[in-house]
Structure 1
Amino acid sequence: MKNIMRKKETTMLDSTKIRIGLIGFLTLAAFDLVMAQKTQTKLIEEGLDFPEGPAFDQANNLWLVELKGGNLVRISDGKLERFATDGNPNGIAIDPNGLIWFCDAGQKSIRTYDPIIGVFETKATQVNDEELSMPNDLVFDSKGSLLFTCPGDSRKEPTGYVCALNKDGTVKKIADQMYFPNGLAFTNDGKSLIIAETYKHRLWKGEWDADKAEWREAKIWCEIGGPDGPGGPDGMAFDSNGNLYVAVYGTGQVRVVNTEGEVIDTLFMSGSNPTNCAFDPKNPKRLVITEAENGELVGVHLSTEEGKQFQI
């Protein structure tokens, strides 16, 4: 595998373009401050065909998907392996037994892959006797239920919904009438669920009842913003302090939201389309990010030093 962990300093635009674009709006000092805050990343892998859904297994192998390539991807000790799904995988969650669960937008299903025996299985294809609407992202709750988003074609009409697949195999909707529900994550205590509504550029937050698989008192929690064109908040991950890191597709940014729902910081990518992110459980200061425009997987090491949050 080429260019493993090659250090790569990235920014959204080169300094010449920024100087031209911002002249008249920023003083030179302000411009230099913007440039000083550019994010440094380490390239882990490149040449990926629309990467998404990074997740670490119990052995600290890093998994992700290639949505357009149709593959599950495992990176272990610097070696990349691909496992063809015959579908369009989009999002990964790994259970305590090491089973890889993923949304398959192409097959309109929730599927699993057992890396020990190399077998795929389909776990869910319907809700309320209707086929699932292009499942997108997924997460387990504290009781083992699997929550997943189904945006379908809900960019212009609020037809997207979110489901829970219970341990007994039943599937039910827990939210609906959304404009492209996408990434989702539980707060660290498992008591609240955050869902990204991509095409409204906002995050919803509600209480989660794991015993009854119910999302209660959901309300708009953060108007996180997005691009002028297609895109908005996508995949997300909480750090150990309760801050939420949200890949904002179309902006070239991962935005950091505090516990009050306020955007407090930003990481700048080299490409415009970050899709998702995950923290390394063995190194909680290491965040990995998938980026689709350049087909890259990158790592960022976060510092807790005041004023120097994002550094290699």
Structure 2
Amino acid sequence: MPAANPLDGFTVDRTQIRTVGRDLQRPECILAEPDGTLWCADARGGVTRIAADGSQRFIGQRADERFAAGADDTAEALEAKLTTGTLPNGLAFAANGDILVSNFGTDLLEVMTRDGQTRTLYDRIDGLPIGKVNFVLRDSRDRIWLTVSTRVNPWTVAAARRVCDGYVAVVEHGRLRVVAEGFHFTNEVRLDAREEWLYIVETTGPCITRMRLDESNPAEVRLTDREVFGPAHLGGTPDGIAFDAHGNLWCTLIMVDRLVALTPEGELRTLLDDGDPEASANLVARFDAGTMRPEDMQKARGTIAPWMASVTFGGPDLRTVYLGSLLGTTIPYFRSPVPGLPMVHWRAAA
């Protein structure tokens, strides 16, 4: 008989939600370390480090002279991009503790030291500009998984028209290559505990897709057996995902501002609904009809983590859940009945 799911009967108690951080700008992605330190993307052009004692420091990106082979940018060109258009989005820790940055503004995969020195890792793939870089993830074999939402410019057109040109790429043996494509605005990705499946957010799907890792060729990993995991329509547009230790996949639905979970069997459970019911219903209806307008998006938001964009497990026991957002200025958090699945950097630190 399967073990009971720790999420059985659980919903987030709004009265128990607390916040950390202040005056943040677009804290979309959050990284947690075992010592209690948080790192969040910041629209001012860098990251904000929040120590366990609550003190915080903004660390702005600045161009470094060191560049990876194959990158077309010069230090001067990168400095210009960082000055005029940087927008750190997805973050991950490199093996040495530096921060990998999928930059939604510069359309680059970058690496930033903890004091802000930034260099380009990749700016092109198959001879073409990468596109609208969204998220980055490192696995236990030190491969870097990168998602690109679209190559359409402006990206807002691709999102509104549900263009299906998003893709997933991987950096393996020093080379960036496409491993899967044809997604509706690719967003966050996560690997399950055994790193057997890659779970892929299709924001305008609006669904979660998963693909099996084929490791039969040691020279390069492949993705196979593509399938939708859970409902084909999640009731809102998914953005961020994270696994807990039981195998539930937690997911934020941005703008309708709902936190849900997909059980290992793919059953959808609502854990927190902070959206405005009328605005959310209107947004989903217009999205489905292909008539969504900017004003529909602006009206649809909650108050806890407005435009809820990501979910991160942290705290000494990995039972503290942090919510990232696009319109928030602080980071809400609450306690979970189940710990999160330790990420690669967490396992290495432990």
Question: Is the TM value for this pair above 0.5?
Answer: yes
Whole-Å separation in 2 of the counterparts to 1:208 and 1:36:
33
Q: Which residue of 1 aligns with 2:323?
A: 289
TM-score normalized by the length of structure 2:
0.70
Q: Does 2:239 match 1:239?
A: no
> Which residue type is aligned with residue 162 of structure 1?
V
Q: What does 1:54-73 correspond to in 2, within 5 Å?
A: 54-57=30-33, 59-66=35-42, 68-73=43-48
Q: Which residue of 1 aligns with 2:228?
A: 220
| Aligned partner of residue 327 in structure 2, secondary structure | coil
What does residue range 1-312 of structure 1 map to in structure 2 within 5 Å? Answer: 38=14, 40-57=16-33, 59-66=35-42, 68-76=43-51, 77-85=53-61, 86=82, 87-115=86-114, 118-152=116-150, 153=155, 154-155=158-159, 156=161, 157-168=163-174, 170-209=175-214, 211=218, 212-223=220-231, 225-227=234-236, 232-269=237-274, 270-280=304-314, 282-303=316-337
- Once the two structures are TM-superposed, the CA of residue 167 in structure 1 deviates from its matched residue by 3.8
- Aligned equivalents of 2:336 and 2:265: distance in 1? 21
Among all aligned residue pairs of Structure 1 and Structure 2, give the percentage whose two residues are the same amino acid. Answer: 20
Q: For the residues of structure 1 that align with 2:208 and 2:12, how far apart are their CA atoms? A: 29
Instruction: After TM superposition, give the deviation of residue 191 of structure 1 in Å.
Output: 1.1
Deviation at 1:287, TM superposition (A): 0.9
CA contact (8 A) 1:52 1:90 kept: yes
SS in 2 for 1:51: coil
Tell me how far apart the structure 2 counterparts of residues 200 and 36 of structure 1 sit (CA, whole Å): 26
Partners in 2 of 1:92 and 1:260 — Cα distance? 29
Match of 2:65 in 1: none
Distance in 1, matches of 2:176 and 2:221, equals 10
Supply the distance in 2 between the matched residues of 1:171 and 1:209 (Cα, whole angstroms). Answer: 17
Q: CA-to-partner distance for each residue in 1:20-73, whole Å, 9 max, x for gaps?
A: xxxxxxxxxxxxx9x99657311112432111111124644211102x322211
Any idea what SS the aligned residue of 2:134 has? coil
In structure 1, C-alpha distance between the alignment counterparts of 2:255 and 2:271, rounded to whole Å: 14
CA RMSD in angstroms comes to: 2.3
CA contact (8 A) 1:253 1:272 kept: no
2: distance between equivalents of 1:96 and 1:36? 34
1:14 paired residue number: none
Give 1:182 deviation, angstroms.
0.3
SS at match of 2:318: strand
Q: Structure 1 CA distance, aligned partners of 2:202 and 2:120?
A: 26
In the alignment, structure 2 segments of 5+ residues that lack a partner are 1-8, 62-81, 275-303, 339-350
The CA distance in 2 between the partners of 1:198 and 1:290, in whole Å, is: 16
Please report how far the alpha carbon of residue 145 of structure 1 lies from its aligned counterpart in structure 2 after TM superposition.
Answer: 0.9
2: CA distance, partners of 1:38 / 1:189: 33
Structure 2 CA distance for aligned equivalents of residues 235 and 111 of structure 1: 20
Structure 1, gaps ≥5 residues long? 1-32, 305-312
Structure 1 or 2: more strand by fraction: 1
Q: Is the 8 A contact 2:33 2:314 kept in 1?
A: no
Amino acid at match of 1:95: A
Q: Distance in 1 between matches of 2:87 and 2:335?
A: 30
Quick one: structure 1 residues 59 and 113, their matched pair in 2 at CA, closer, same or farther if it must change by over 3 Å? farther
Q: Is the 8 A contact 1:234 1:247 kept in 2?
A: yes
Moved more, 194-203 or 139-148: 139-148
| 1:223-270: CA deviation from partner (whole Å, max 9, x where unpaired) | 25244xxxx111111111111111111111111111112112322342
Q: In structure 1, what is the Cα distance between the partners aligned to 2:198 and 2:184?
A: 17
Change (3 A) 1:278 1:234: same
* Number of aligned positions between the proteins: 265
Distance verdict in 2 for CA 1:251–1:272, change over 3 Å: farther
Write 1 or 2 for the structure with the bigger share of helix: 2
The residue type paired with residue 91 of structure 1 is G
Aligned amino acid, residue 47 of structure 1: D
Cα 1:175–1:206, aligned 2, differ >3 Å: closer, same or farther?
same
Which consecutive aligned stretches of 4+ in structure 1 deviate over 3 angstroms post-superposition? 35-40, 57-60
Secondary structure in structure 2 of the residue aligned to 1:137: strand
Q: 1:198 to 1:118 in 2, by over 3 A?
A: closer
Query: Is the contact between residue 194 and residue 203 of structure 1 (CA under 8 Å) also seen in structure 2?
Result: yes
